[in-house]
Structures are given as structure tokens and as C-alpha cells.
Structure 1
Amino acid sequence: MSINEISNKPITILKDSTLSDVIRKLLETKLSRLIVLESGNPVGIITEKDVGLFLLSETSKQGLDDISISKIMKPVLYVDEGITPKESAKLMIEKGVSSLTLGSADNIQGIFTKTDLVKYFLKNSSEKKVVDYMTHNFVFTHSAAPLFKVVKKMLENKVSRIIVKNQNEEAVGVISFRDLFRISLELGSEEDDTGFTISDQIRKGFLSEEGFGDISLAREVMSKGIISIKFNEKLTSACQLILENNVSGLVVLDGNGDIAGIISKTDVVRALID
């Protein structure tokens, strides 16, 4: 199977769009990245993770409708259509990116992501085990933690999602940038007493020890439920679960049913290199 067979037509957004436009389109399309166009030509790429890290760390008073995506987008990484899945996997890991674009600025032939490489891995059956590629160290928080502490931990570790545990140390949910995006859009269009939108206040509120960031708890914001897999199962089984549930990773359980780590799309991509 060639890269051409697993690539997809890119979804685009105009360079003069705002941050709120990007967030809405990411949520509507359930995608994690968009190609940015100017005068019909690709000039950059913007991802869910880039938006989340910017949204929560930006200190300006601009609202979501006033922030240009040119402040956030990154250069497009092009590759030749002759590249193999293994070479693609190696390049993604080396460059720290989650997608590659086939062709050139003059002729984009498609875009493929870690998700597409997971699909490729699944179709090319392997005896590799979850335990051999899982990540043992993972970022987590507790369900009673105030939101500002959760977001601070996500920013410090530069992760776009975090596992939530209850008081019994059981995984009960996940908080992702998408959960925070939805809150931003829901509350960001409201106005304060002076007539200004409060999207900037909400953005800062995520990190505030006073107000929104303190009164909101992890369990109130998280997406409930965890998808897990046993450490001794095949990596292809993990791929199947990741794709069926449209998630970026799974909780890995040890022989006692305790959390041993996570297996993510990135881990599967690493397995392709071996």
C-alpha cells in the first residue's frame, strides 16, 4: 500500500480567518488540522494542539474573533509521493509532527496523518504487542482538581489531553483541548457589563485561581469514560480500538487491572519504524 492510497484531500481555511473560525471548523469537521490558504495557495497549517497551547497561554486581551490565525499557523511539511509508510513514520517522529503533505505548494496531492498510518499498520497485520511500545509515563489529574490546575499541568507538559482519575485512582475520563474549545465558544460570545465579549476573560479564567478556573472541577469538564486495553494484547487490537472510537490513545491495564501506561497513535507510528 502506497502513501497515495492512504492520503486524503485536505480541508482548508482562509488565512484571514479568526481563531474562533478555526475552532468552529475543527469541531464541526472533527478534524485536528487545517491547511491555511491565501489567494488559493497553501501558506501554512494549523492544528488543534497549536490552537490549544496558544489559546491557553496567550496573554493579550484580544477576543477569539480578533486573533488572526497567522499568529499560530506553522509551515507545511511537503513530501514526495514516492515516500514509503515507514519513511513517513520516521519523518513524523524526527520532526515532531502529526501530518505530512504530499506534493508541493503548487500542487497538493493529499495529506496524511498519524491516524492514516495507524490504519496502514492495522491492515498490515503484525504480531507486535502493546507492552513493547506503550508509554509508561503519562500525565493525569484527579476528578476533584480545579480546572486551573488541570490546564496548568497540560501546558507544562505540552499535552492536548489528560487522563482524569477518581479518588480510588481509577481512570474515569479525559479532558482534551476540544473540551476547553467548546467552553470557549459557549461562553466567549457572551458580553460583560461594559459590552465587551468575555472570551479573553474565559481564556485567562482557565488558568485563574479566582473565578472560573477555580470553581470548575475536572469532573465537570471531562469527557466521561475511558477506553482501555490489556498490556499483553496485540498492537493491531489497539489500532482497531483507536480507530473505532476516534481517540488518540488508550489506557493500558496491567494483569491486575491497574493503569500501566498509555498506547497512542504516536506509539503505533514508532512501531512502524522498527
Structure 2
Amino acid sequence: MKPQIQHFFDPRTFTATYLVFDVEGGHAAVIDPVLDYDPKSGRTKTESADQILAALKQHHLQLDWILETHAHADHFSGAHYLQKEAGGKIAIGARINQVQSVFKKLFHLEPELAVDGSQFDHLFQADECFQIGQLQAQALFVPGHTPADIAYKIDDAIFVGDTLFMPDVGTARCDFPGGDARMLYASIQRLLSFPDDTRLFMCHDYPPKDREVTIESNVRAQKEMNIHVHQGIDENAFVAMRTQRDAGLEMPVLILPAIQINIRAGNPPPPEANGISYLKIPLNAL
């Protein structure tokens, strides 16, 4: 069965969220939902996630899964809000514990943050298969951007997270804690080993000025045209390019607040005695 796919693009964070379902009135998964956040005021809003809730209602769908490809550094996860409103299991790759361990130390989250992934309802092992109603799905382990990245294969569609971008944009950075350019190269080669007409859905698009936002590519286009990793570029050349490029990149604007939310499955830190949750900003630590 071919998946039904609807996407939602957040222009503030350049993030694509996907609603994937089997049939009208059937079962659904949401991949990489966004919770709106204003860094100037520290306020969150649910406009992006509410669009997904409206689509679930429109198609009369039961939400089975809320799937994260990784702990994002550029937007807040809307997983907790979606689950509260529509149910479903929040899931991520099993190696999220490695990411939690790194950032527990950075933010000095002692002792309250467990680093076993228990904030999530399900931790996918490499290549684990699961169901979305009548759809067969598989969690593909694709580390490199972070050590815990997962892509989701649903029939002929793969939701690649932050491994690949559109061919004219390239590939994901590897300079976050635990990132590794050689791992990313191997992960990309795995994705590009699927049949040429396999559809690839991006988590982000940063389009040049001469085209509109595009979120779908395929294996053939990536092998022929990806500016960082097309056919003929070997591992050493890719690692050299990626290392040099990453050295000149600024940190994402939202990395410090977002990662504290996202390693908790979209939950804010526990409120303090006054009922307010607080995020930490470590000075001179990154």
C-alpha cells in the first residue's frame, strides 16, 4: 500500500513536518512536528501543530505514532502537545541516550534528566519494522549529523531527516556533539542504495533565491546532482569538504533552548516552585 503524505512547512525554521496515513478514516504517523517558539519573548505557540490536528480531523485519522528523526537543534518539537491532543506513541532512535548524556553535562541537568530515553514511548532499534495501520514501515539507522539519527522508510518513501537536503543544497552538518562526517557519508550511501525512483522527503529546505521551497527528491536526483555527495565523490573528499564547511558555520539560533526541550520528547523542564519552567543558557560552553 502506498502511503498518503501531506506536508506542512514552517518558514521560520525551514522545517517540513509530515502526516503519513494509510486510508481515509485509518491510521497515521506524524514525522518531526514543530512547536512554535518566539526567542524574544520565550513564548511557545501551537499554530503549526494545530494544522496537523486539523488534518487528522479532516481525514478522520487515528494518530498511532509521533516520529522524531533526531533531537533537533533548530526547532522545538511539537510531539508532547500532539500526543496530549491526539494520542499516539512518541518514538525516536535508541541512541538518543548518547545525545542526552552529552547535553545533560552541558546544561548541568543533575540529577533530574534520565539518560536512558525513557522520556519517549518507544526507542527504535536499527532497521526495526513497525506498522502504521496497513502501512509497513522501517526505522533506518543513519548516524552522522548526530549519533542517533533515524530515517523512516514507508513503502517507496523515505523520510531522511537531516542526512540529505535537496540536491542544490547538499547535506547536513556534522559538527554537533557526536556528529561524524564519515558516518554521515556511509548513511547517505545506504539511502542512495535504494532503487532510483525511491522518493526522499527532506526535513528541511533552504532554497536559493531562484526556486521555491521543495521537500521531495529521489535517489536518482541525489546521485546525479547533489552538490556535496553525487556519484564520483568518494568518502575522503566528502569528509574534507564537510569538515571545512562545518568549521565556518554558525550555531543554529535555537540550539540551546531547543535541545533542552527535544531530548525530553517535546516536554519542557519540570516547573520550579513558582510554576514556571526555565531553560538554561550556558555561557562560553559551546
Q: TM-score, normalised by structure 2?
A: 0.24
Larger radius of gyration: 1
Higher RCO structure, 1 or 2 (CA under 8 Å, sep 6+): 1
Q: TM-score, normalised by structure 1?
A: 0.25
Bigger fraction of residues in helix: 1
